[in-house]
Structure 1
Amino acid sequence: MNHFDIENINVAAFDPMPSPEEIHAELPLSTIAAKAVMQGRDSLRNILDRKDHRLFVVVGPCSIHDPVAGLDYARRLKALADEVGDTLCLVMRVYFEKPRTTTGWKGYINDPDMDDSFHVDEGMKKARRFLLDVAEIGLPAGTEALDPISPQYLGDLITWTAIGARTTESQTHREISSGLSTPVGFKNGTNGDVSIAVNAILSSSRPHSFLGINSQGLTSIVRTRGNRFGHVVLRGGDGRPNYDTVSVKMTEQALLKAKLPPNIVIDCSHANSYKNPELQPLVMTDVVNQVRLGNKSLVGVMIESNIVAGNQPIPEDLTQLKYGCSVTDACVDWETTEQMIREAALLLSNVLPKRNL
């Protein structure tokens, strides 16, 4: 028996992948893009540290599949961000990796051609190109860290990172978060358990050592310093919302008991809107009202939004895709997005400046 009969029995192939350094050289970070990323990170850190009175809003498509429509959305969002910038800090939601409960399209990096061809090398380049374009428009970007290797390829273009409900409990993702250069939002578990997120914040705030890759693509022991900008994202769970005042108060108490800053973001989508995008504005209104009534722990919201409302299945003939419409979770349309954000900015413009006094 040779060793081939023992290892890699279920592996069909090992296809080479360009190193992060090679992809960075092909698509280098521009001065304009670097400025947008750094300013975005500074704003979020200051919001979390209560040095900036604004709320941050991570808003955008459930996932990116069409870069043309994605940049159309980004340009609209940049104009809106400039309009409400005194009250709200807008971050574009740019999600490339989609965690799956069973199977389905795994996102723009894994399968950019949307045909199960899995040209991951091309997907990574296309994702980096898109993030560069968004940053050069002047918008900060937020994404989900799902694959432990992707941050080496894209991390210099990210302002805010989410750890999803399925991965908040994962040691790998807590370790990655401890080394990320961005603030990190940990979602409560899919069952609604907030303690999972609190433990993740504690874990990621401390140094870790784990296996990863460096910029040359070499397997390395990654040693981190710890990330003190972890915070909770409440997204509901087990089909029930948790954005209400009681859930928020209980989350505050759990954070304070763990000696963590009471920083809470509300995800207007997922179980908080019963996966019905038309309910997202009601969640947003509730969050705004809680802040107006004196809540000091709510620092941000997330909205799943696109140019066109709803979602669509991926057709065999990709020319039949509806422009600006999600192929994953259903979203609110652009008009609704503008209305939600403008109303929030108007209602909070006189409240937020006094909030941290």
Structure 2
Amino acid sequence: MSHQALDNLNIDAFDAMPSPGEIRAALPVSDAAAATVAGGRRDMERILSRQDPRLLVVVGPCSIHDPKAGLDYAHRLKALSDEVSDTLLLAMRIYFEKPRTATGWKGFINDPRMDDSFHIEEGVRRGREFLLHIAEIGLPAATEALDPISPQYLGDLIAWTAIGARTSESQTHREMSSGLSTPVGFKNATDGDLSAAVNAILSASRPHSFLGINDQGLASIVRTRGNAYGHLVLRGGSGRPNYDTVSIAQAEAALRKAGLPENIVVDCSHANSRKNPRLQPLVLQDCAHQILRGNRSILGVMVESFLEEGNQPIPADLGTLRYGCSVTDACLGWDDTAAMIRETRELLKGPLLKRCLQTA
């Protein structure tokens, strides 16, 4: 007697994927790259534990779609990083995966050719190549962890990880974060609520056991130790900002009530800038002024920035794409980015060291 098919009814195909170990063996980490990643993680952990007075600045494109333009940006950022390194720790924002409310380009890993062909193996390989270049020039990389399997392929090249507003409430992402090797920033919900992110920090700090894959690509029970460096990222919500002094005080109180360190990163983009990239320098300036007035909880900021200001739709003819211009959220241009970072360094050069000494 034949049985009716019961599973995989909506699956079109299973395409083989190289294991994480195979991808890493083909694209190994150099000594220089390893030193960048380890050093970046160590410096960020020291900032979060109040041992390093610098302000963390996660800055870069909303998403990477053109590795050539991304490397152009990275070389400029590296020079700027060296210039301001006494006061600011710069990490390049490298987002390969994009959450989608409904439809749209899902990012470089899922669709590297930007034509709905979904050559994911190619996306992983090219993404890893890009991260290797960034690490080898001496820039720590920051990313958003969206797919729970991707960190097995790329996680050894990441220094800081964000969990987005749509996934901070996800048990899968909390469990994954508990095993990540980087500090992890959890964003508040898209409506501005803080509770999901605060609960996520608590959850990720604990050990977990869950299904995943190992280095050989085999299904495994992953057992984690917990991540001690979870922190809150404020990105605004429902079209309203939450970086003002009242919102910061409320966030501090929520963290304190949960028994968590009052460690906050302010996302200068998204609802905090009302998605207007030209407002990002004003958000950063406001955060700097709060620090000047005695704030001790703002330890970092995020900025969406690319070579050219604004954004562009993905055209049918990819040859017409504007070089260095975002295809997702609108970004601040390079000149304005460099100016705001230099201005922040001048404002905070002395006060950050004083704040660190007072906290210690």
Q: Which residue number corresponds to residue 212 of structure 2?
A: 212
| Partner amino acid, structure 2, of 1:118 | F
TM-score, scaled to structure 1:
0.99
Aligned AA (1:83): E
Alignment partners' CA distance in 1, 2:3 and 2:25: 38
Q: Distance in 1 between matches of 2:129 and 2:4?
A: 39
Distance 1:4 1:297 in 2: 59
Please report how far the alpha carbon of residue 287 of structure 1 lies from its aligned counterpart in structure 2 after TM superposition: 0.4
Q: CA deviation at 1:34?
A: 0.3
* Superposition pairs of residues 227-266 of structure 1, within 5 angstroms: 227-266=227-266
Equivalent residue for 2:335? 335
> In 1, distance between residues paired with 2:284 and 2:239?
18
Q: Name the CA distance, whole Å, in 2 between partners of 1:291 and 1:2.
A: 71
SS in 1 for 2:44: helix
2:279 maps to: 279
The residue that corresponds to 2:60 in the other structure is: 60
Q: Distance in 2 between matches of 1:31 and 1:58?
A: 24
Percentage of identical aligned residues:
70
- 1:66-112 per-residue CA deviation (whole Å, 9 max, x = no partner) reads 00000000000000000000000000000000000000000000000
CA distance in 2, matches of 1:309, 1:249: 32
Change beyond 3 A, Cα 1:118–1:356: same
> Deviation digits for residues 221-273 of structure 1, max 9, x if unmatched?
00000001000000000110000000000100110111100000000000000
Write the distance in 2 (CA, Å) between the matches of 1:196 and 1:148. 19
Once residues 85 and 326 of structure 2 are traced to their aligned partners in structure 1, the CA distance between those partners, rounded to angstroms, is 27
State the alpha-carbon separation in 1 of the partners of residues 59 and 144 from structure 2. Answer: 13
How much does 1:63 deviate?
Answer: 0.1
Does the alignment pair 1:321 with 2:321? yes
Match in the other structure for 2:200: 200
Partners of 1:341 and 1:195 in 2: CA distance: 31
CA distance in 1 between partners of 2:177 and 2:347 (Å):
34
Match of 2:135 in 1: 135
Residue in 2 that maps onto 1:14: 14
Query: What is residue 154 of structure 2 aligned with on the other side?
Result: 154
Q: For 2:198, give the aligned amino acid.
A: V
Secondary structure (helix, strand or coil) at the match of 1:50 reads coil
**Structure 1 residues 39-87: Cα deviation after superposition (integer angstroms, max 9, x where no partner):** 0000000000000000000000000000000000000000000000000
Q: How far, CA to CA, are the matches of 2:64 and 2:356 in structure 1?
A: 36
**Secondary structure of 2:350's match?**
coil
Alpha-carbon shift at residue 356 of structure 1 (Å): 2.0
> Which residue number in structure 1 is paired with residue 349 of structure 2?
349
Any idea what the Cα deviations from partners look like across 1:130-185, whole Å, max 9, x if unmatched? Answer: 00000001000000000000000000000000000000000000000000000000
Partner of 1:297: 297
Aligned residue for 2:222? Answer: 222
Q: Could you tell me how far apart the structure 2 residues matched to 1:54 and 1:249 are? A: 21
Show structure 1 runs of 5+ residues with no match: none
Corresponding residue for residue 72 of structure 2? 72
**Alignment-mate amino acid for residue 180 of structure 1:** L
Matches of 1:131 and 1:352, distance apart in 2: 30
Counterpart code for 1:256? R
- 1: CA distance between counterparts of 2:212 and 2:341? 39
Q: 1:246 to 1:318 in 2, by over 3 A?
A: same
Partner of 1:181 in structure 2?
181
In the TM superposition, residue 5 of structure 1 has moved relative to its aligned partner by 1.8
Cα pair distance change 1:3/1:41, threshold 3 Å: farther
User: Residue 211 of structure 2: SS of its match in structure 1?
Assistant: strand
Question: Which secondary structure state, in structure 2, belongs to the residue aligned with residue 16 of structure 1?
Answer: coil
Q: 1:3 to 1:211 in 2, by over 3 A?
A: farther
How far apart are the structure 2 equivalents of 1:341 and 1:144?
A: 22
Quick one: which amino acid aligns to residue 168 of structure 1? Answer: S
Note the alpha carbon deviations across 1:294-333, whole angstroms, 9 max, x for none.
0000000000000000000001111100000000000000
Distance 1:86 1:212 in 2: 40
Distance 1:272 1:196 in 2: 18
Shift of 1:191: 0.6
**Distance in 1 (alpha carbons) for counterparts of 2:13 and 2:26:** 26
Aligned equivalent of 1:312: 312
SS of structure 2 residue aligned to 1:210: strand
CA apart distance, 1:3: 5.6
Instruction: Give 1:4 deviation, angstroms.
Output: 6.5
1:47 aligns with 2:51: no
Counterpart of 1:26, as a letter, is A
| TM-score, length-scaled by structure 2 | 0.98
1:195, distance to aligned residue in structure 2 (A): 1.0
Q: How many residues align?
A: 357
